[in-house]
Amino acid sequence: MDHVPTRPLARLWAYARSHRRAVAVASSFSVLNKIFDLAPPILIGLAVDIVVQREDSFLARWVVDARDQLLLLAVLTFVIWVAESLFEYLWRVWWRNLAQTIEHELRIDAYTNVQDLDLRWFEDRATGDVMAALNDDVNQLERFLDHGANDILQVLTTVIGIGIMFFALAPEVAWMSFLPIPLIIWGSVKFQRLLEPRYTAVRDEAAMVNAVLANNLGGMATIKSFTAEPREVERVSEASDAYRQVNRGAIRLSSAFAPLIRIVILAGFTATLIYGGFLALDGTLAVGAYSVMVFLTQRLLWPLTRLGETFDLYQRAMASTKRVLDLLDTRPQIVSGPMAPDALVGDITFDAVSFAYDPESPVLDTLSLTIPAGSTTAIVGPTGSGKSTLVKLLLRFYEPTDGTITIDGHELAELDLSALRSQIGLVSQDVFLFHGTVRENIVYGRPGASQEEIEAAAAIAEAHDFITHDLPNGYDTIVGERGQKLSGGQRQRISIARAVLKDPPILVLDEATSSVDNETEAAIQRSLDRLIIDRTTLVIAHRLSTIRYADAIHVLADGRLVESGTHEELVERDALYNALWKVQTGEAHHLA
Ligand code: ATP
Ligand code: MG
């Protein structure tokens, strides 16, 4: 079995496999930048060497004259500074571009994965929460990759580089300045562990704020109509304050780190200063070596104070990375089957199907019915009886808890999901239009359709006239988010046009004309009548006049099939359908 890493960094490393080369290049730029940055003390040493030793100096091996040696040193200094600047530029560019690339890929992968998840998964979550992970959390990565990774590499380079110089120069005291380092590393790791849960909480609260905001912005009309503005400000403020409070916990801890580290460093620095000084006084340590040592100790230990900040960045980024990677690792329960028939005719059977969204309250109870190919079948029944649920099962948005559903003899679970769904045109009870033009929304049913085809579909849906006469820019009118700039009936007709344009063998109309007036409904009905010849059509309607002429009508109550037959047969019988019919025709005022 593959080893599955659990630490976010290890998971990220595994995820960013294809970028390891870029990470290596960026890392080497960071290291080279630091090496050139560490060179000046050596240059100073060389300068002193030239002035004191003249023709016996280190550089004398190549250039004899002391003045020429100084010129050579000047050239060397120049080269080193240019190299330092160049590599600094390079590591910045590489790390930041790497951050952007990984973020982009992560965002797209996470979105692609989320899109495949079950409807149930989305229903259990707030949109704002998922948004926070896909956007905010992904963006947190760059906080660490832009600087943090470089910082860690450069601190390491410093410790190793200066360590080498140090032990070469004054091995007797070198060990002393290194004493604080294990303590600092131990402290940093410990500190980082303490921070982890705090930043996880911070990200969770950030997602909560996002969820509240997204929810409120979506329901602005409701907030206003109930004059709930003060209450909503209060609610947003509570979420925002919770975010502030968890951040406070993290801030308190994270701010303490740098000062604490500095004290440890100060102890190491002072000890070297005093002990080395004593040795110099005793004559055991050369004065030159002592001064270089004090200088180097400072250069060695000081960068370590920045570790706190780096670990802070790291923890923050990892809290977010974990959320994104968890999203990426979530798998749908409903997976595509192996079979992908070219076309389905639409012989649909529900065989003893039971279903419940929540095990406590069953919605469908051993329901059996058949919808013959090419027929028009209607489902009626009181609100909440499970009609729309039946449709969701047919599209395999959910899996029945019991029983089977087949199309043309294939069990739904055996069919490829897109092969199944591409054969069904759904006009759903809650119409959703995308922010965009009328044309874009209709053509969603069949990308690439021509203007003539779009207009023909719109005409069938009784939409063409209002689009060209009533909308300011005709087919180019922007419908607004969720289609909010259109009337309810206009939205419904556009969604019918969209399904008609898709031209599927199976058409499902769930309360498709509930928001239009009777006259328009009758007109849509007439044009649909032509369309549904030879097409399997499932119609759900409350207004029984719309389904009067269906080949078969099934009456659902409390998730059970209570009656079936044609309109005439059902009206004859003295049962639920007859009662519903009487209420609608005005013969009775309420259900018996
Ligand atoms: P209507 O005529 O009002 O559209 P319907 O017959 O289409 O009603 P369904 O939408 O199928 O009714 O709902 C059947 C039952 O399932 C209802 O009690 C409803 O509360 C419940 N229900 C519907 N969708 C969900 C869901 N996503 N999660 C949990 N329960 C749900
Ligand atoms: Mg419904």
Segment among 152-166, 216-230, 297-311, 540-554 with least mean pLDDT? 297-311
Q: How far apart are the CA of 389 and the centre of ligand 1, in A?
A: 6
Q: Is the CB of 363 under 6 A from ligand 1?
A: yes
CB neighbourhood size of 258 (10 A): 15
Tokens describing residue 122: 């989305």
Neighbours of ion ligand 2 (CB under 5 A): 387-388, 429
Q: Is 388 in the pocket of ligand 1 (CB under 6 A)?
A: yes
Q: Give mean pLDDT, residues 415-434.
A: 91
CA distance 302 to 518: 81
DSSP letter string, 317-347? HHHHHHHHHHHHH---SS---SB--S-----
Given this model, what pLDDT does residue 4 score?
57
383 lines ligand 1 (CB under 6 A): yes
pLDDT of residue 592 exceeding 80: no
Phi-psi category of residue 178: left, alpha or beta, with phi > 0 → left and psi -120 to 50 → alpha: alpha
pLDDT at 2: 47
Nearest CA to ligand 1 atom 1: 383
For residues 173 and 267, which has the higher predicted lDDT (pLDDT)? 267
How long is the chain?
592
The mean per-residue pLDDT over the stretch 507-512 comes to 91
Please give the DSSP secondary-structure letter assigned to residue 124: T
**Distance (Å, whole) CA 196 – CA 191:** 9
As a whole-number percent, the residues of the chain with pLDDT over 70 amount to 98
The CA 384 to ligand 2 mean position distance, Å, reads 7
Positive or negative: CA dihedral 465, 471, 476, 478: negative
User: Hey, whose CA ends up nearest to atom 22 of ligand 1?
Assistant: 357
C-alpha 358 to ligand 1 mean position (Å): 11
- Name the residue of 122, 125, 357 to mutate for ligand 1: max ligand atoms within 8 A of Cβ: 357
For ligand 1, the distance from its centroid to the CA atom of residue 550, given in whole angstroms, is: 24
Between 495 and 307, the more confident residue is 495
Identify the nearest ligand to the CA of 509 by its number: 2
Please give the Cα distance from 299 to 285 (Å, whole number).
20
Distance CA 504, CA 422 (A): 7
Residue 159 has pLDDT above 90, yes or no: no
- pLDDT per residue as tens digits for the range 563-573: 999 999 998 88
Please tell me the number of the ligand nearest to residue 387's CA. Answer: 1
2 burial via Cβ count (<10 Å: 0-12, 13-18, 19+): exposed
Decide if pLDDT at 75 tops 80: yes
> What does the pLDDT look like over 84-96, one tens digit per residue?
999 999 999 999 9
Structure tokens at 428: 């759903």
Tens-place pLDDT, residues 311-365: 888 888 888 999 999 999 999 999 998 988 888 888 999 999 999 999 889 999 9
pLDDT band at 591 (very low <50, low <70, confident <90, very high): low
Least confident of 229-243, 366-380, 407-421, 521-535: 521-535
Most informative mutation of 118, 122, 354, 363 for ligand 1 (most atoms within 8 A of CB): 363
Cβ atoms of 330 and 124 within 8 Å: the answer is no
Residue having the nearest C-alpha atom to atom 3 of ligand 1: 383
Q: Is 124 in the pocket of ligand 1 (CB under 6 A)?
A: no
Radius of gyration of the chain (CA): 36
Mean residue pLDDT across the chain:
88
The model's confidence at residue 299, banded by pLDDT at 50, 70 and 90, is confident
Q: Which residue, chain included where needed, has tokens 């790791």?
A: 189
Half-sphere exposure of 250 (CA within 13 A, CB side): 25
What are the start-end ranges of the H helices in 542-585? 567-572, 576-585
Average pLDDT estimate for 137-153: 88
Tell how far the Cα of 541 is from the centroid of ligand 2, in angstroms.
9
**Structure confidence at residue 1 (pLDDT):** 39
Strands (E), 460-550: 506-510, 536-540
Among 234-243, 467-476, 513-522, which is the least confidently predicted range?
513-522
Contact (CB, 8 A) for 23 and 99: no
